[in-house]
Amino acid sequence: MTDRTPDILVLGLGPAGACAAKAAAQAGCNVMALERKKQPGAPVQCAEFVPALIGAQVEGLKANTVQDITSMITQVEGEAPDLMADFPGRMIDRARFDAALAQAAQKAGASCLFGHNIRAVEPGGAVILASGETITPKVIIGADGPHSLAGRAIGAINKEILETRQICVPLRKPFESTDIFLKADIRGGYGWLFPKGDVANLGVGVMAADKGALKPVLETLHAALIKDGRIGKDVIGHTGGAIPAGGMVMPHGMLGATLVLLAGDAAGLTNPVTGAGINAAVMSGHLAGEAAADWLDGDADAPENYHQDLKDLFGASLARALKRRREILHSYDNENTPTPAQLRAGWIAYSDYWAA
């Protein structure tokens, strides 16, 4: 590593970081991006569904689509499933998708380096690598996930977290829906079965305090779907990880003379109910890269303009989701459990979710 004073240092090369690096490089900035993983997107820590609205202009999306999704089926407790017929999206190969975005950033002129762990982001804006090297950028873009070191350095911390566990299993019956399982014993989250051709991603997300319940809850759901003849018993792969569920944190701050911008999960842009975050990562990453370039070009209002853009794009949906999530969690108070009606009111497929 020869350049220790880039204009912009991007932490993380997931969708948010890669899009930020590309946008900033296209604006003529000297951009370095660091990723702790040795290769883009691997291991995958994602259910791999993206909504149709993510935008066909995103490089690598179409080429890395495994199958299209047309609908959503939601099952509440043991009741008959409910169909949401119009729910278009696609299942992607997340590792290949992330690789395509990183390649686009490199093509734009960003220096993208893999296998580099960050030890600390210091109060003065220096970034210390695990190797002991120090990088002193003018701007840091934190796209380093829900436990962002950049976010922690400026006091913007994701305090509400969902923990997830997912397995890849063989499909016995192909389908084109996202299957959702709402149950009172999946506190603060839900179960899912998302098809990817001949296989499917089967997973569960719960509030952080229930992390110890993930394995048995997922095993119970797996067994039930085997019994129904929908999936096989073989487990092809495991994954899991943390998802921010508390809404947007302050996405900008200063460390000495160094500007810090947060994007994607680091900024808390993941939907607190669904856990969806790829679309927000792509959009916020692009905006963060542009804002960093604008600030370096002398626009002192660029950080606050970036913040306002995020509020305009995601504020209303995040506020609604956070309200519904907290209503569901409140229903567990005093040793109560939510009713099926309460579970429905907390999920996007039902009209009560969208009510005032």
Q: Which of 196, 224, 244 is the last residue of a domain?
A: 244
Cα Rg of the chain, angstroms: 20
Regarding whether 16 and 112 lie in a shared domain, the answer is yes
What pLDDT does 2 receive? Answer: 59
Do the domain assignments include residue 97?
Answer: yes
Which two tokens mark 282?
């792509």
Regarding whether 313 and 289 lie in a shared domain, the answer is yes
Regarding whether 197 and 96 lie in a shared domain, the answer is no
Tell me, what CATH number does 209's domain have?
A: 3.30.9.10
Tell me, what CATH number does 271's domain have?
A: 3.50.50.60
Regarding whether 154 and 13 lie in a shared domain, the answer is yes
Q: Which of 179, 209, 244 is the last residue of a domain?
A: 244
What pLDDT does 245 receive? Answer: 97
What is the residue-level pLDDT of the chain in tens, covering all 356 positions?
656 899 999 999 999 999 999 999 999 999 999 999 988 877 777 888 988 876 555 666 778 899 999 999 999 998 999 999 999 999 999 989 999 999 999 999 999 999 999 999 999 999 999 999 999 999 999 999 999 999 999 999 999 999 999 999 999 988 999 999 999 999 999 999 999 999 999 999 999 999 999 999 999 999 999 999 999 999 999 999 999 999 999 999 999 999 999 999 999 999 999 999 999 999 999 999 999 999 999 999 999 999 999 999 999 999 999 999 999 999 999 889 999 999 999 999 999 999 97
Regarding whether 122 and 37 lie in a shared domain, the answer is yes
In SS3 terms, the chain reads as CCCCCCCEEEECCCHHHHHHHHHHHHCCCCEEEEECCCECCECCCCCCEEEHHHCCCCCCCCCCEEEEECEEEEEECCCCCEEECCCCEEEECHHHHHHHHHHHHHHHCCEEEECCCEEEECCCCCEEECCCCEECCCEEEECCCCCCHHHHHCCCCCCCEEEEEEEEEEECCCCCEEEEEECCCCCCCEEEEEEECCEEEEEEEEEHHHHHHHHHHHHHHHHHHHHCCCECCCCCEEEEEEEECCCCCCCEEEECCEEEEECHHHHCCCCCCCCCCHHHHHHHHHHHHHHHHHHHCCCCCHHHHHHHHHHHHHHHHHHHHHHHHHHHHHCCHHHCCCCHHHHHHCCCCCHHHHCC
Domain interval for residue 114: 8-65+89-159+245-319
Regarding whether 125 and 41 lie in a shared domain, the answer is yes
Regarding whether 254 and 236 lie in a shared domain, the answer is no
Do the domain assignments include residue 330?
Answer: no
Regarding whether 196 and 239 lie in a shared domain, the answer is yes
* pTM for the predicted model, two decimal places: 0.95
Place of tokens 């997300």: 205
- Quote the number of domains for the chain: 2
Do the domain assignments include residue 74?
Answer: no
